[in-house]
Amino acid sequence: MGFFRSNIEAMDGYTPGEQPQHGKFIKLNTNENPYPPSREVTRAIQAVLEQGLGRYPDSMATAFRLRAADILQVSPDCILCGNGSDDLLTIITRALVGEGERLRLPYPSYVLYKTLANIQGAETEEIGFQSDWTLPPQFADASPGLKLAFLPNPNSPTGTLVSPTQVAAMAERMPCPLVADEAYVDFAEQSCLGLVARHDNVIVLRTMSKSYSLAGLRFGYLVAQPSLIAQFLKVKDSYNCDALSIAGATAAINDQTWLAETTVKIKATRTRLTRELAALGFDVIDSQANFVWAEHSRRSPRELYEELKASRVLVRYMKYARWREGLRISIGTDQQIDALLTLLKTMV
Ligand SMILES: *Cc1c(COP(=O)(O)O)cnc(C)c1O
């Protein structure tokens, strides 16, 4: 067509997981939380609706930052909120990575990062995990034009975790900011949050979409030193979080009892799913997230995906050209996982 910047015309857009609009599916494909969110969320949103939506929202989402700062034991000045953590990933990439520069990622990992680099006209450097799911030392090496590194931790699609000790050692050597994308951290044993105070290049990214069951609300936040946040503020939309999402997210993070109860249930179901898939002949990677990566020695994952879909169970089929293909299965309720296992027993 020729109207657009050449990198936009050349790139593939990001394809989100299927969100069927018709029919009843058991949805285990986009790592949503199967349980309803804290009841306080609807109450808080209702209260905002009663006041009306005529005024612009607080551009800094102060109510959320104050609550979150207290819970996370950080200063509110270290928190920046976004319209989902994808919005913050966009802000970070736009602020740090220019045309022809480089963004480093582990491989395999979250596919959106590459799209963000492509939009900037930047290159990606993908560094493969080692067999024990740690990263090789070159993940932290300087290289010409390197401006930013993303590390989903726990990683998607593998569910594996790089220890905060290793992340700290890498951050120490890296010539650029390192984003620990902790979308799944509430299902994990360790977090990198404590590194922010000691490393001015560490950014911890969190979302309310997965562990708080608010993927439809669109709210995420990052924790970093105020000097970084001051630069990100220049790039973000003034009103990137709306009044309803600020109220809902604040109520959600305030209900830590709900979070603790729900994550305990999901982790118990994860343990059971991992065990039962193994009994059916699947290779399953031990997960610290709300999904598992599974491959079967005899059955093609694409066919299993298709057969499950025909029976109204959606899982994510993924193929990484330089790694493997397999199924990424989100942790549903026990009932949903039972339905999945019953079907799989007839297929493998
Ligand atoms: C789901 C996910 C996100 C996006 O979360 P939103 O807050 O819904 O935009 C970011 N990073 C990773 C690794 C994810 O899996």
Other beta carbons within 10 Å of 6: 9
- CB distance 29 to ligand 1 below 6 Å: no
Measured at the CA of 3, the angle between CA 7 and CA 18, to 5 degrees, comes to 60
Q: How many A from CA of 278 to the centre of ligand 1?
A: 28
Mutate to test the pocket of ligand 1, among 81, 83, 86 (most ligand atoms within 8 A of CB): 86
Q: How many A from CA of 214 to the centre of ligand 1?
A: 11
- CB distance 152 to ligand 1 below 6 Å: yes
Mean pLDDT across the stretch 212-217?
Answer: 98
- CB distance 82 to ligand 1 below 6 Å: no
- CB distance 106 to ligand 1 below 6 Å: no
Residue 194: C-alpha distances to residues 168, 176, 180, 191 (Å) = 10, 19, 12, 7
Other beta carbons within 10 Å of 296: 20
Chain-centre distance for alpha carbon 221 = 12
Closest CA to 184 of 146, 133, 220: 220
Residue 1 has pLDDT above 80, yes or no: no
Q: How many A from CA of 238 to the centre of ligand 1?
A: 21
**Per-residue pLDDT tens for 163-212?**
999 999 999 999 999 999 999 999 999 999 999 999 999 999 999 999 99
Q: Which pLDDT band holds residue 19 (cuts at 50, 70, 90)?
A: confident
Specify whether the CB–CB gap between 208 and 214 falls below 8 A.
yes
* Fold category of 20-36+257-345 in CATH: Aspartate Aminotransferase, domain 1 (3.90.1150)
The confidence score (pLDDT) of residue 20 equals 84
For the segment(s) 39-254, the CATH number from 3.40.640.10, 3.40.50.2300, 3.40.50.150, 3.10.450.50 is: 3.40.640.10
Mean pLDDT score across all residues of the chain: 97
Q: How many A from CA of 346 to the centre of ligand 1?
A: 33
240: region left, alpha or beta (phi > 0 left; psi from -120 to 50 alpha): alpha
Q: CATH 3.90.1150.10 region(s) of the chain?
A: 20-36+257-345
Q: CATH 3.40.640.10 region(s) of the chain?
A: 39-254
The confidence score (pLDDT) of residue 15 equals 83
Specify whether the CB–CB gap between 298 and 281 falls below 8 A.
yes
Q: Which pLDDT band holds residue 16 (cuts at 50, 70, 90)?
A: confident
Specify whether the CB–CB gap between 123 and 7 falls below 8 A.
no
Other beta carbons within 10 Å of 69: 16
**Per-residue pLDDT tens for 244-299?**
999 999 999 999 999 999 999 999 999 999 999 999 999 999 999 999 999 999 99
**Per-residue pLDDT tens for 26-56?**
999 999 999 999 999 999 999 999 999 999 9
Burial letters 114-147, b for 16+ CB under 10 A, else e: bbbbbbbbbbbbebebeeebebeeebbeeeeebb
Q: Which pLDDT band holds residue 237 (cuts at 50, 70, 90)?
A: very high
**Using only C-alpha atoms, what is the Rg of the chain?**
20
- CB distance 294 to ligand 1 below 6 Å: no
Q: How many A from CA of 207 to the centre of ligand 1?
A: 6
